[in-house]
Structure 1
Amino acid sequence: MKKSSFILLLSILLFPPLAAQHPPKYEVRAAWITAVYGLDWPRTRATTPEGIRKQQAELVEILDKLKAANFNTVLFQTRTRGDVLYQSDIEPYNSILTGKIGGNPGYDPLAFAVAECHKRGMECHAWIVTIPLGNRKHVAALGKASVTKRKPAICIPYKREYFLNPGHPQTKEYLMSLVREVVERYDVDGVHFDYLRYPERALRFADSYTYKKYGNGRDLAQWRRDNITEIVRYLYKGVKAIKPWVKVSTCPVGKYRDTSRYPSRGWNAFHTVCQDVQGWLGEGIQDQVYPMMYFRGNNFYPFALDWQEQSNGRQVIPGLGIYFLDPAEGNWTVDEIERQINFVRTHGMAGEGHYRVKYLMDNTQGIYEILGEKYYTAPALQPAMPWIDNVPPTAPAQLTVEKEATGYWKICWQPATDNDKRNAPTYVLYGSDTYPVDTANPENILTQRIQGTEYTYAPILPWDTRKYFAVTAIDRCGNESEACNQTLHRE
């Protein structure tokens, strides 16, 4: 039997779709919310008070459904092609919000998304498309607001589209100016870079002048890889200088390069688009990578394993192509995704991302129900980032539980005594029918990201009421304190 065929057979035998494992306590469960063309959101234009309300309600509906299925990470599209979904001093509002380029929707979508995610205990990462600037029609529609007009020296036309020139030193500075706006002004949990690469096999990409000026004897491919790496490095260090806990990630092409197990068949991150992602991981200039692994069989498993083996301890979160469950997109069956999730968990990867949220909302081939009822049956906390900070907060103290006249339970505690106000801990509340509460069991997580030091516990179903409670403090690098259990049994 060929080695490649053996890998696929082994993966199917070891990770059948019906063999769902117990969910881990720490796992990234992410979904991309795509704003470009309104693919996922929004459907309604914010041109009237009612339009604003509907547009916001559409996003709330998505977040509610993600929360109900125990998702914990939202990748919210914040920049598309030279336009944005927040109040920027640099680039105009995306027309999808109001129907008009630069049109103010009457609220700040990114601020709204961050606040609504945090209400639900979920992280919100600003998903930023970096190098592409759109086709000629789009750039022309942006007019004077387009970066191609404001900073033509760093822009290149190629195949009827425009791109930032990764080889120009000012490109990284321009991108960092956008990132700085987002990280300084908004309480985002991460910045997530997309299309941080050259166009595919761009032999005719018009950067010969820049290459002659800055190549310094390197061959073209290596120079281009170095350019992308320098942008990654510059953005990573820039974010960490502002808020060290904000996660920096990219979604690279799903195959890094050929592996010893299986070839990439000539299409990979390293050669095709000049992304040296394993170099970034090795240098420590990524906290997470979401490789776009929208493949099946041997085009998934060997490459997923390769990402994890070369991760340098950083978080590898394969992007799963759930859009292929739509018959109009592909002929996948849902067991493909189930096997991939089992494989990701078995090999200790940090979680998975789902592209895109529309297919979760539509429950395509039952994927939303399968995740909620079989794989994400309990909440999950974010994996820690010990390379940023590995010191847990002090434990909260004096947990008390009182029954109120409403029949609900008021739970209070004394705060952790950590003094870092910028990275102040939030709290995770646990409950169970046994004492002390087992905080290692994710099924005991009642809620997370509590900002204050009290919580009203109101179980929806009487038979789900927990008898005992515990609370921990958790910082924004994912370090969790020792648990504080209640000291008295409530009557």
Structure 2
Amino acid sequence: MLRYKYFFALVLSLLISAPTFAQAVVTADSVSVRPQPKREFRGVWIATVSNLDWPQNARGTAESQQRDLINQLNAHQQAGINAIMFQVRPAADAFYAKSREPWSKYLTGKQGETPDYDPLQFAINEAHKRSMELHAWFNPYRATFDNKFYALAPDHITRTKPEWFFTYEGIKLFNPGLPEVREYIVQVVLDVVKNYDVDGIHMDDYFYPYPAKGQVINDAEAYAEYGKGFDNIKDWRRDNVDKLIHMLADSIHKYKPTMKFGISPFGIWANRSQHPDGSETNGGSSYIENFADSRKWMKEGWIDYINPQIYWHIGYRLAPFEKLLDWWSSNTYNRHLYVGQAPYRFYEPRSLAYKNPSEIPNQLRLIRANPRAQGSVFFRSLSIVNNANHLTDSLRTDFYRYPALPPPMLWLDSVPPNAPQAFTARLEKKNAVLRWSAPLAAADNEPVYGYVIYRFQVNEKFDLGDPRNIVHIQYNTDTLYQDTTVQPGKTYFYVVTAIDRLKNESERTAPMAVTVPASVL
């Protein structure tokens, strides 16, 4: 992600005197907000680089690190989060066992040192227990995060293939212009695709490095060898990144056709002054500075979602949140848009607008009012865990008060499962106990991935589109559920639906009633 070290240097022009709260041109009252959605992506990034979020102790025991992660996941579940972006490769290293790269120093304190467990497998299991998707987050081209090259493991790729790298601002970066580099990165990602039950592959904004004064990208030799057919090195660099994204898309979907693939670019693709199709903004841009044409990746259908980091406030004169939201939503090409939001900026002394507790809630209202936006991802985990500026309170009691399924991706899978069979419901030991049998095979033979349980009371409409009626979402194939929240003297009606991996939902079962006698409790 574009984070602390580079944020201020890159967009210094975007950080001059923030306007007062009264200057914001968009407020909650000025948008027409949709009711609580049943389908919405509600994500959070868990950053492992420099132990920003997890593990908070790189030398901790497996038990303490696991407890730390469980505590964060529990907090996110309580806040209504339904997707985790889990950083598994901060710098050509690994937070997973089945890797060709050494274990991360941010996990064990020393690169290459083996932990007593597989963090990615543990995170997947725990996220799915809580009905959360888990997307494996990769940094594609960053090979080191600092200049302590002496501390790299002997088998680190910068040692075994030094010709693949250039140094920029004191860190080593893969040279995107080398075909063997692109092939290597694809194979690194496929190690996870093939061996882990992740829901998606996620990449952030680090493609070519952000511009830094006095720094030069040393790729002239690669351009001379591979740049034939290009009039300038900039177009060649963009084509190099295009090739990687296209290769990844083809490879990921070859091995896992229902695997989601998404990118989180810098919040500005290009300014209109730089490109006729750009946004009405004035700041750094990924198309020009990172050579990342993420708009093309959407247009070509290479990625399934775009997750731009729109880290500026509503009404900001150089890069207004509302204008960027509108620009991205107009350039999705029927793929999903999940907006990257910045609760971490509450902790920045100069980010005055983010001291306003209404700033991010108003952004959420704008997102929900836009029919071409499907959700949000928050940077970062501890900002949500620590309830930055009371945002988590707002999520739990308002925006994410009711559960939501992630939106389906019909271009990957549009065939829903069949409805569960043999559904029964009865009162047992003061609880409503629901049982059913697995559905018949779906038309595409896609297996059932989980179930959704709905509950209604007398005289309530059986509205499966209203998330207030969802009492449980499960990402497993268990065929039993106990509702422990029933109250004496009431009658409840239940129905169950099945979901597949991409959250396509079946028709409901026939309703079953459970009456709780007034004296039962």
Aligned to 2:20: none
- The TM-score normalised by the length of structure 2 is 0.86
Contact 1:437 1:485 in 2 (8 A): no
Contact 2:135 2:201 in 1 (8 A): yes
Aligned to 2:100: 90
Amino acid at match of 1:38: N
Matched ranges for 1:403-482 at <5 A: 403-405=427-429, 407-418=430-441, 423-434=447-458, 437-460=462-485, 462=487, 467-482=492-507
Q: Does 1:69 align with 2:79?
A: yes
Secondary structure of the 2:172 match is: strand
Contact 1:79 1:128 in 2 (8 A): yes
Q: Select which of 363, 368, 379 maps to 2:403.
A: 379
* C-alpha distance in structure 2 between counterparts of 1:31 and 1:193, whole Å: 14
Contact 1:317 1:350 in 2 (8 A): yes
Aligned to 1:313: 334
* C-alpha distance in structure 2 between counterparts of 1:29 and 1:485, whole Å: 30
Matched ranges for 1:387-402 at <5 A: 387-402=411-426
Q: Does 1:170 align with 2:170?
A: no
Q: Does 1:239 align with 2:252?
A: yes
- The TM-score normalised by the length of structure 1 is 0.91
| 1:120-172 Cα distance to aligned partner (Å, 9 max, x none) | 11000101111111255343311422211122232111221110111111122
**CA 108–463 in structure 1, closer or farther in 2 if over 3 Å, else same:** farther
Q: Which runs of 5+ in 1 are unaligned?
A: 1-7
Contact 1:67 1:120 in 2 (8 A): yes
Aligned to 1:57: 67
Q: CA deviation at 1:95?
A: 1.7
Q: CA deviation at 1:310?
A: 0.9
Aligned to 2:343: 322
Aligned to 2:223: 211
**CA 142–421 in structure 1, closer or farther in 2 if over 3 Å, else same:** farther
Q: CA deviation at 1:437?
A: 3.1
Q: Select which of 392, 401, 410 maps to 1:368.
A: 392
Aligned to 1:353: 377
* C-alpha distance in structure 2 between counterparts of 1:463 and 1:301, whole Å: 48
Stretch moving more, 415-424 or 359-368: 415-424
* C-alpha distance in structure 2 between counterparts of 1:76 and 1:189, whole Å: 11
**CA 188–135 in structure 1, closer or farther in 2 if over 3 Å, else same:** closer
Amino acid at match of 1:372: R
* C-alpha distance in structure 1 between counterparts of 2:497 and 2:309, whole Å: 34
* C-alpha distance in structure 1 between counterparts of 2:203 and 2:98, whole Å: 18
Aligned to 2:285: 268
**CA 329–364 in structure 1, closer or farther in 2 if over 3 Å, else same:** farther
* C-alpha distance in structure 2 between counterparts of 1:482 and 1:432, whole Å: 16
Give the count of matched residue pairs.
478
**CA 220–388 in structure 1, closer or farther in 2 if over 3 Å, else same:** same
Q: CA deviation at 1:196?
A: 4.3
Stretch moving more, 289-298 or 348-357: 289-298
* C-alpha distance in structure 2 between counterparts of 1:176 and 1:284, whole Å: 18
Secondary structure of the 2:151 match is: helix
* C-alpha distance in structure 2 between counterparts of 1:471 and 1:75, whole Å: 29
Q: Select which of 236, 246, 259 maps to 1:223.
A: 236
**CA 418–465 in structure 1, closer or farther in 2 if over 3 Å, else same:** farther
**CA 55–276 in structure 1, closer or farther in 2 if over 3 Å, else same:** same
* C-alpha distance in structure 2 between counterparts of 1:258 and 1:14, whole Å: 29
Q: Does 1:134 align with 2:144?
A: yes
Secondary structure of the 2:495 match is: strand
* C-alpha distance in structure 1 between counterparts of 2:96 and 2:362, whole Å: 38
Stretch moving more, 434-443 or 352-361: 434-443
Contact 2:175 2:219 in 1 (8 A): yes
Q: Which runs of 5+ in 2 are unaligned?
A: 1-22, 517-521
Contact 1:191 1:246 in 2 (8 A): yes
Stretch moving more, 479-488 or 373-382: 479-488
Q: CA deviation at 1:86?
A: 0.7
